[in-house]
């Protein structure tokens, strides 16, 4: 199963556990898997690489909409969207198994059985989880609220090294670390904010702040925007923000939202990060470049001559 689908399914099944429908969802997913497996014509249509994903999604919806639980339909449609066409039968089988496990065991036990992922796989899984959570929010302003709360919590964790280390400590169980997040946020933030913050905590988490910032990015994605993280040596006024946002919009081809933090340690200038793009135009960076030049082979030779 693609990591993105795994994350999406986890979030949808959490909701099914909460509303008591998870057993039916598991049963319905098993029925869809059986339908595809035992119907050669349908299997051929859904696994044909020539048929575009939207057309295959339409076929599935026509067959099962209204006959299975809404959560099961969401998962089947997402599976057709995320998985390569030839891999669809296997993905449906894995999805049905995950649902049955979720219906039968504790969430932490199910999570422990999931395959270990590298950095990219973990990011894709987190993106899938966030996509499912944001789909459930009723309005854009809810997403904006969650985005703002995640950003502020990330800054709190970033400014508290002891908390940051505790939340990433593999010697402390995932359940205990998630309870700690709950004790800090429950009743104070939107329920979706708490879900996403807890989801950042997992067995192989190395940097909780990066994980929280990634969830902030996913909130912007859910609103059709790109998120730019800006660290500046001093406060950035509205005119400069507008100019920077416009330049980044031209660069990325999408509206860009700025999340600005002030870091006097930069001395001057800014660091801008948009996805994998990073631009460092700070005084500290220029000083480091100068130091590297002076201490390099050429600089060392000049020093010897003098």
Supply the pLDDT for residue 205.
Answer: 80
Contact 79, 96 (CB under 8 A): no
Question: What residues have CB less than 8 Å from 88, skipping those under 6 apart?
Answer: 36, 46, 47, 79, 80
Instruction: Please state the φ and ψ torsions of residue 258, each to the nearest 5 degrees.
Output: -95, 130
Pairing of strands 226-232, 269-274: antiparallel
Q: Smallest Cα–Cα separation from 132: which of 246, 15, 265?
A: 15
Q: Smallest Cα–Cα separation from 223: which of 134, 110, 285?
A: 134
Question: What residues have CB less than 8 Å from 23, skipping those under 6 apart?
Answer: 103
Supply the pLDDT for residue 50.
Answer: 87
CA distance 99 to 218: 25
Residue with tokens 């709950």: 182
Supply the pLDDT for residue 285.
Answer: 56
Contact 245, 227 (CB under 8 A): no
Pairing of strands 256-262, 226-232: parallel
Supply the pLDDT for residue 282.
Answer: 65
Supply the pLDDT for residue 126.
Answer: 92
CA distance 152 to 200: 15
What is the dihedral angle through the alpha carbons of 121, 5, 137, 74, rounded to the nearest 10 degrees? Answer: 180
Give the DSSP letter of residue 138.
S
Task: Output the six-digit token pair for 68.
Answer: 């299975």
Supply the pLDDT for residue 257.
Answer: 74
Supply the pLDDT for residue 306.
Answer: 41
How distant, in Å, are the alpha carbons of 196, 197, 269 from that of 168?
16, 13, 31
Task: Output the six-digit token pair for 243.
Answer: 């100019």
CA distance 218 to 192: 13
How distant is the alpha carbon of residue 253 from its chain centre? 21
Supply the pLDDT for residue 299.
Answer: 47
pLDDT in tens, 240-254: 788 877 877 777 666
Along the 306 residues of the chain, how does pLDDT read in single tens digits?
Answer: 889 999 999 999 999 999 999 999 999 999 999 999 999 988 998 899 888 888 888 888 888 888 999 999 999 999 998 899 999 999 999 999 999 999 998 887 778 777 777 878 888 999 999 999 999 887 888 998 999 999 999 999 999 999 999 999 989 999 999 999 999 999 999 999 999 999 999 877 888 999 999 999 899 888 876 677 777 878 878 887 888 778 777 776 667 777 788 877 766 777 777 766 677 666 555 555 555 655 655 444 444 444
pTM, rounded to two decimals:
0.75
């Amino acid at each position: 199963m693609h990591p993105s689908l795994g994350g999406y399914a986890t979030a949808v099944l959490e909701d099914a556990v909460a509303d008591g429908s998870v057993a039916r969802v598991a049963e319905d997913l098993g029925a869809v898997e059986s339908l595809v497996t035992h119907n050669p014509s349908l299997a051929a249509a859904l696994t044909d690489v020539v048929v575009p994903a939207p057309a295959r999604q339409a076929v599935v919806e026509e067959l099962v909409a209204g006959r299975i639980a809404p959560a099961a339909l969401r998962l089947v449609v997402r599976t057709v969207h995320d998985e390569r066409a030839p891999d669809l039968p296997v993905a449906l089988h894995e999805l049905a198994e995950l649902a049955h496990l979720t219906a039968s065991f504790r969430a932490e036990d199910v999570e422990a059985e999931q395959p270990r992922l590298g950095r990219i796989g973990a990011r894709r899984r987190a993106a899938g989880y966030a996509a499912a959570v944001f789909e459930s929010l009723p309005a854009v302003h809810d997403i904006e609220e969650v985005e703002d709360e995640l950003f502020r919590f990330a800054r709190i964790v970033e400014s508290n090294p002891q908390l940051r280390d505790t939340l990433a400590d593999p010697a402390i169980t995932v359940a205990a670390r998630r309870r700690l997040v709950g004790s800090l946020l429950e009743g104070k933030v939107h329920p979706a904010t708490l879900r996403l913050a807890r989801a950042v905590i997992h067995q192989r988490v190395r940097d909780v702040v990066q994980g929280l910032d990634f969830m902030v990015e996913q909130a912007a994605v859910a609103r059709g925007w790109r998120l730019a993280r800006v660290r500046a040596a001093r406060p950035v006024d509205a005119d400069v923000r507008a100019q920077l946002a416009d330049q980044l919009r031209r660069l990325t081809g999408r509206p860009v939202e700025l999340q600005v933090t002030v870091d006097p340690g930069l001395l001057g200038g800014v660091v801008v990060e948009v996805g994998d793009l990073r631009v460092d135009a700070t005084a500290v960076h220029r000083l480091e470049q100068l130091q590297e030049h002076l201490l390099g082979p050429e600089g060392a030779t000049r020093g010897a001559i003098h």
